[in-house]
Amino acid sequence: MQSVKITSVVAAPLFGASPKGGWSSEIKPEDSVHALIAVHTDAGVTGHGSVFSDGRLVQAAIDVLRPLFEGENALDPERVAEKLNQNSFWMGRGGTLTHAISGIDIALWDILGKVTAQPVGRLLGGIYRQRVQPYCSLLMQEPAPLADTLRAMHESGFRAFKIGWGPFGRALDTKLDEAIVRAAREAIGPGAKLFVDAGASDAHWPHGLKWALRTAEMLDDYDAGWFEEPLRPDAIDDYRELRRASPVPIAGGEVLTRRQTFLPWLARGALDIVQPDVTKVGGISEQRRIAWLADDFGVKYVGHGWNTAVGLAADLQLAAAMPLTDLVEFIGGSPYVDDITTEPPTLDPEGYLPIPMTPGLGVNLDRERLARYTPDPELLFSDERR
């Protein structure tokens, strides 16, 4: 096939089981913070994507972008995504439109893989690995309940964990901060990986560089693999100083979008680990460019993946295609990851996730399961215009 034309793009908001995020203005189960995208084509091939945004905003963005994508060749994901970016600058760069373009781009790569009968990772340049270790991403709690949750996840097979947000830093109690981390380390044992996410992109984060420096020293005592979002997301100079002084690696970047925004963070040495989110940053096309740019600067790329099974599938394909990406984020206990596909993600005996080598993203949505979380799941499977 030389051309597969886009006939429609639709969004399906997910709600009813939205997991808590530990935010100051907490997510409610009925809130929409994620939406799935379907790109339908005249060849009868449909691709799926994921967007980290309220479904109503995603649908509005699709309506705005429609004149730019209708009739376009779905086999040109990077060209089409860049067309959408270039022709929407005047409406603001990096917000809802960029988030929606992310989902469209992911879906276009899914289509390209299905049409060429190749996994997306191979289309991105080649397969470095066919499995990758997921770190189970969990909301921080008081020490005792957090330890119970971590032990249960460890028993289910996970061997890497990230704890974040919740009372950490927000309770203004450094002893509690340490008690949380100590409880986590004791629960998972010395052999498991532990990462800590302060979540300083939350509203009115109360701490600055000195708190982050002291906390980094504490985290080193518990063999933390990285300290994520320890400072407000625009404090690039403080991030540079923290990275130089911290005994543990410094990670961040989940709220940044578009590759151009990441360049000063990489060039100025503000991060040890960069964490763009494929469902926000501009999609697979943009994420790949950021990941390789980070590699050129000697900065490790590990995608932020607090999203859906489709977003996880995109992260897995990117992990396959990047030489040094040895981890993916796996939000623990979210039905939007565990309960919307025909074959939910399953750990192997060593706690790794296999990376699908089937065409496209290698994930198939389940109509019946999706009906629990979106009012019209059929939109994702059939083009009403045909």
3-state percent breakdown (helix, strand, coil) of the chain, nearest 5: 40, 15, 45
Residue 286 lies in a domain: yes
| Residue 171 sits in the same domain as residue 221 | yes
CA-to-CA distance for 238 and 198, rounded, in angstroms? 15
Residue 206 and residue 307 share a domain = yes
Q: Are residues 171 and 211 in the same domain?
A: yes
Q: How far apart are CA 110 and CA 74, in angstroms?
A: 10
Question: What does the alpha-carbon distance between residue 294 and residue 223 come to, in Å, rounded to a whole number?
Answer: 24
pLDDT of residue 13: 97
Contact predicate 330/111, CB 8 Å:
no
State the total domains in the chain: 2
SS3 59: helix
Question: Alpha-carbon distance 109 to 48, whole Å?
Answer: 9
pLDDT given for residue 384 in this prediction: 59
pLDDT at 375: 94
What residue ranges in 260-364 does DSSP mark as E strands? 273-274, 300-301, 327-331, 353-354
Evaluate whether residue 359 is within a structural domain. no
Q: Is residue 361 domain-resident?
A: no
Give the global pTM: 0.97
Q: Are residues 79 and 135 in the same domain?
A: no
Q: Which of the residues in the chain have pLDDT under 70?
A: 384-386
Question: Which domain range does residue 296 map to?
Answer: 122-354
Q: What is the pLDDT of residue 92?
A: 82
232 and 333 assigned to the same domain: yes
Which residues, in sequence order, are CB contacts of 221 under 8 Å at separation 6+?
none
Please state, in angstroms and rounded to a whole number, the distance separating the CA atoms of residues 180 and 191. Answer: 18
Same domain, 131 and 83: no
Per-residue confidence (pLDDT) for residue 160, from 0 to 100: 98
